[in-house]
Structure 1
Amino acid sequence: MPRRPTRTVPTVVVPGLNGSGEGHWQTWLEEQLREAGRETVRPDFGDHDRPELAPWLAALRATLAPLPADGFDVVAHSLGAVLWLHHVSTVADPGDSPRPARVLLVAPPSPRTRLEAVAGFFPPPLDVDRVRRGADGTVLVAGSDDPYLPNGIAAEYGLPLKMATTVVPDGGHLNTESGYGPWPAVLDWCRRDNLAFF
């Protein structure tokens, strides 16, 4: 018997470098949720090919500002997941920014990333307490063979943040190049209430 959709809160989709455009699972997810009558919002980062930390943080906060505290989800991919870690590390007071109910961080690149185009985002802050205060619950998902996570998601983020991780076998960077287009598992996560990804 298929699982019945139960969750109706807004979903904030936070893309990474290049904007998760046509064919990417984040774009597919937005389409699926909207067809089901769900609200989705996405920060306006302007030029996705030239990311800068301060403007991206400002765009994320502007997107979150009107949302109900503990009444929305965040689904962030790649550099967007790293951006989320910067966001929660700089929210000094819980009233400064609405807190989501759940956060899904997908394939954040290694904290030791040396790509010049995103150098200002690395290393990301790995503050356990601030990440925990930043949402009712946060989980990590990454491919077993992600080229941007040479030591694996658990070693790079899960253990430092003391956070649950899900490894997708042969998932690569969980992007269009890895075949994630439609991704039913992430849609299923958005539809239900529990935090675990699988």
Structure 2
Amino acid sequence: MTTYLILHGYQNRRPPGHWQHWLAGELRERGHEVRYPQLPEPEAPVLDAWLAALEEHGGRPAEGEFVVLAHSLSVLLWLRAGARRPDADRVLLVAPPSPPVTASIPGIAAFADGLDLTETGLDARLVYGDGDPYAPEGADVHYGDPLGLDRDFVPGGAHLSPDSGYGEWPSLLKWCEDPAVRIGAR
């Protein structure tokens, strides 16, 4: 059995129309353990509270594979956790906001403050779309290139959220079951 930790982003209360909500249900139906916690105060997130929630829900299971899927602001949470990051077998970083955009939003600016994007050896895959208003330069510029991440580009994906049509996302589900699968458009 695989355990999945799904981490949402800013202002996200885990709505049913979001790909994360859909994915959690699909994975549970297949018999996997899914942790999909509501992070504290998503409209006014506090970095330390989100780090504490990551520690609370990110414990590695005694057996099986452990996979983390982080979307949007929780990508920065994952990167900011550093040595406090849970030990994961696979990590998927989806549509992170650029540091300049994050720094320009007072409610989440602390997530970008002091963000180290020079870390080497980070074993993760980046999934991003073009036209993302939260990463207008492209997530590859701020994350993929500097961190040397494997990446999947989704043409027309924007922020890979319900607003850009990402509720059901079959290729992402296929990746969960087989890490060799490349993630594409819905």
TM-score over 0.5 for the alignment? yes
CA distance in 1 between partners of 2:179 and 2:75 (Å):
21
Residue 126 of structure 2: aligned partner: 140
Alpha-carbon spacing, 1:68–1:195, altered in 2? closer, same or farther (3 Å): farther
Unpaired segments of 5 or more residues in structure 2?
Answer: none
Q: Percent of aligned positions with the same letter in both sequences?
A: 38
TM-score where L is the length of structure 1 = 0.83
Deviations 1:11-54 (A, max 9, x none): 00000012232200000000101111111002342321111100
Unpaired segments of 5 or more residues in structure 1?
Answer: 1-7, 92-96
Residue 38 of structure 1: aligned partner: 32
Residue 61 of structure 2: aligned partner: 67
Give, as a single letter, the amino acid of the residue that structure 2 aligns with 1:116: P
Residue 122 of structure 1: aligned partner: 112
RMSD: 1.9
Q: Which structure 2 residues correspond to residues 1-150 of structure 1 after superposition, within 5 A? A: 8-19=1-12, 20-68=14-62, 71-87=65-81, 89-91=82-84, 98-113=86-101, 114-123=104-113, 124-129=115-120, 132=122, 137-150=123-136
RCO greater where, 1 or 2, for CA within 8 Å and sep 6 or more? Answer: 1
Q: How many residues align?
A: 180
CA distance in 2 between partners of 1:100 and 1:195 (Å):
18
- 1:166 Cα offset (Å): 1.4
Contact 2:2–2:64 (CA under 8 A) maintained in structure 1 = no
Residue 5 of structure 1: aligned partner: none
1:169 pairs with one of 149, 155, 160: 155
CA distance in 2 between partners of 1:62 and 1:195 (Å):
30
Give, as a single letter, the amino acid of the residue that structure 2 aligns with 1:115: I
Alpha-carbon spacing, 1:127–1:36, altered in 2? closer, same or farther (3 Å): same
Alpha-carbon spacing, 1:98–1:66, altered in 2? closer, same or farther (3 Å): same
- 1:128 Cα offset (Å): 2.1
CA distance in 1 between partners of 2:156 and 2:38 (Å):
31
Which contiguous aligned blocks of 4+ residues in structure 1 show a shift greater than 6 angstroms?
Answer: none
